[in-house]
Amino acid sequence: MARDTTASKLPPGPTGYLFFSEHEALRDQLSLYQRIFESYGDFAKLDGLPGISWYLVARASAIEHILVTHQNRYRKPDNFNKTLALLVGSGLIVNEGESWLKQRRLMQPAFHRERLSALADCMIESTRQMLEQWHKLEDGSEVDIAAEMSNLTLTIAGKTLFGLDLRDKAELFGASLRQALGHVSEKMNNPFTYPEWLPTKENRNFKKARHNLIQVVNEIIETRRKTGGDRGDLLSMLMAAQDESSGEKMNDAQLRDEVITLLVAGHDTVAATLAWLYYLVGCNTRVQEKLQAEVKAHVNEALTLEDLPKLSYTRLVIDEALRLYPPAWGQPREAIEDDEIDGYFIPKGRIIAVSQYLAQRHPDYWKEPLKFHPERFLAEDELAKDRPKFAYFPFGGGSRMCIGNNFALMEAQIIVAMISQSFTIELASNQTIKPDPTFTLRPDGPVLVKLKKAK
């Protein structure tokens, strides 16, 4: 039945076109969105250029409507899918319709709890190797924890998902990934970029970065084709998977798209979470001491998978880091038919930027929202009692929810617990660290910390 949208109104928002009035500010979308949220509230209309408008939404009930209750009225926008496809081809994150469903069903079993449990030892071993290197440094040495976490999470993704040791390629892969995501993000947000075929410096750099990434991915696939056999990991499952009706296997191009998607989605997000976590914990002695006390109380010499459920405070610290600095800080949707939310008219084709970053700092849902306070998830104050589900959704929601959420949380818990066992992390002074919203929300430069051996 057609919905009656005639009575609905448009959300409030700034007058004028942002591409003219806020041209510079558009380069820093996070700050711009924050200002708009402060001035116009959690449901706002933005006009970029004549004919280009979008809504910014940080209202939990509206987010639930878009991502879950009425998700069939929305899709990921073409602009998002096509631009990200420059990097990930037709991988799960940009796939749509029947083809998406087929791939999601194929990959889901690899992320079931029992499968994930089998990966814990590998995560523990990789973290142990990083700590062994840290122990060789002089006490109090300074390191860039963002780079350390990026290398570690790429090593873990390579081994757990594809059975490959990527340690010696981690730096090149990380740098190429940042370059490529910067290009993709610019293309998504700026309608005035040059077409891909023009050999501009920017386009050439992107091609080179993509080539570096594809080389790593090709090596992963070739190595496995040579060694063969079912290793029980995701790569084996993807390679063995056959289309039920045609009996066809995934070809190398499809396989490559899924592998690069998982490497991109599965490593950078966890690395950013941990970099932010140590930015927050590194100057909060109380939280760090509680983390260390918890590990001391519950873990014998070497951490095992069985210890994880006992480390509830460690989990709260991870949840709180994900609240303040969600790596996926917003996600776009496009209305595929006219709709209405809270009395606001959503015309077919309208893009909606749903924002984790704003909802998770919304003063209606969180007491002292900017304070780093892991215990807030246990609080029973008025706000906590009535807090709607989509006030906190770092992994998205609905059918397109993150496939790797349990993988990410297990990995982060292992890494934080093992670091707490051996080191006190102290944020080096005199640093200005700002969030860089280029695709994943990550610190805009190194996060320098001092590694002090725990007593």
DSSP conformation letters of 15-72: SS-HHHHTTTGGGSHHHHHHHHHHHH-SEEEEEEETTEEEEEE--HHHHHIIIIITGG
SS3 at position 335: strand
Nearer to ligand HEM, 13 or 266 (CB): 266
Nearer to ligand HEM, 160 or 424 (CB): 160
Distance CA 403, CA 395 (A): 9
Nearest distance from C-beta of residue 325 to ligand HEM, angstroms: 10
Amino acid at 206: F
Nearer to ligand HEM, 104 or 450 (CB): 104
Nearest distance from C-beta of residue 34 to ligand HEM, angstroms: 19
Nearest distance from C-beta of residue 202 to ligand HEM, angstroms: 25
Nearest distance from C-beta of residue 433 to ligand HEM, angstroms: 19
Nearer to ligand HEM, 344 or 395 (CB): 395
Q: How far is CA 57 from each of CA 10, 67, 105, 121, 452, rounded to the nearest angstrom?
A: 13, 12, 30, 41, 43
DSSP conformation letters of 349-378: T-EEEE-HHHHTT-TTTSSSTTS--GGGGG
Nearer to ligand HEM, 135 or 389 (CB): 389
Distance CA 184, CA 322 (A): 23
Nearer to ligand HEM, 209 or 408 (CB): 408
Nearest distance from C-beta of residue 204 to ligand HEM, angstroms: 29
Distance CA 437, CA 333 (A): 18
Nearest distance from C-beta of residue 96 to ligand HEM, angstroms: 9
β-strand partners of 448: 144
Nearer to ligand HEM, 92 or 146 (CB): 92
Nearest distance from C-beta of residue 176 to ligand HEM, angstroms: 19
Q: By Cβ distance, which residue is nearest to ligand HEM?
A: 404
Distance CA 447, CA 143 (A): 8
Nearer to ligand HEM, 113 or 136 (CB): 113
Residue 56 φ/ψ, nearest 5 degrees: -110, 120
Dihedral of CA atoms 268, 270, 272, 273 in degrees, nearest 10, equals 160
The total of other beta-carbon atoms located within 10 Å of residue 403's CB is 19
Q: Would you tell me which residues interact with ligand HEM (CB under 6 A)?
A: 76, 92-93, 104, 261-262, 265-266, 269-270, 273, 327-328, 331, 394-396, 400, 402-404, 407-408
Nearest to 176 by CA among 207, 202, 212: 212
Nearest distance from C-beta of residue 67 to ligand HEM, angstroms: 7
